Amino acid sequence: MEKLIKRHLDFWTNKTILWHMFVSVLLLAVSLFITYFALKYTNNHSGDVVSDILLDSLPVVNVAFLFFQGAFIFVLILFGVLMFEPKYIPFVLESSALFFLTRSLFMIMTHLSPPSVEYYNYIHKERHVNEVLFTVSSGNDLFFSAHAGYPFLLALVFWRIRFLRYFFLLCSLIGSVVVILGHLHYSIDVFSSFFIAFGVYEITKFFFKKGHNLLDIK
């Protein structure tokens, strides 16, 4: 406990880090602001349902609990991890900001409807208890999958901590299976997310070297 308290004191009393934190939070806020309007755009420009080599052979499974409550639990765990390792906070915020900004730009380029219209309608019936999640996801934001890509991004960020690396990789696998079985994403949305997340990580590492350098602090 003493080490944890000292870790936080060293982190939050460093003026350079505090300024870095301010910029990181601002970037994330801007990316979520852009995501909000990108969602409104995709909701008004959804296209047709197309065939999918994987989904066409799989039945639709009710994955509402894992899709919503699972995502909420995931965020709580991530918050706990960052409270235990505060030096990761700026780089996580920066990589998250770039991830959601990239996703916002991608989702407005392709206008497809969700693979399963029936399940999509069911998901929206649950909206009243999942309003927070619907501020960053509407069901029409298909390319690319955040449930698959975001945990994979965090696995790359926490790669040096073996337990967290495997935990986030597992979350990424679970997220991928959930959105495929629920027919909430096309296969391309899921498989491409890993390559895009890796690109986001490398770009963040290049442009935000200070945040990445904080990870080397003992």
Q: What is the pLDDT along the chain (218 residues), one digit of tens a residue?
A: 777 888 888 888 888 888 989 999 999 999 999 988 888 888 787 777 888 989 989 988 888 788 888 888 999 999 999 999 999 999 999 999 999 999 999 988 887 777 766 555 555 555 544 554 545 455 677 889 999 999 999 999 999 999 999 999 999 999 999 999 988 889 999 999 999 999 999 999 999 988 888 887 66
Q: Are 176 and 169 in contact (CB under 8 A)?
A: no
User: Which bin fits 50, alpha (ψ -120 to 50), beta or left (φ > 0)?
Assistant: beta
Question: How confident is the model at residue 129, as a pLDDT?
Answer: 46
Cα–Cα distance measured from residue 135 to residue 45, given in angstroms and rounded to the nearest whole number: 17
Question: How confident is the model at residue 73, as a pLDDT?
Answer: 93
Q: What is the DSSP string of 98-114?
A: HHHHHHHHHHTT-----
Question: How confident is the model at residue 138, as a pLDDT?
Answer: 56
> Which regions of the chain does DSSP assign to beta strands (E)?
none
Question: How confident is the model at residue 122, as a pLDDT?
Answer: 55
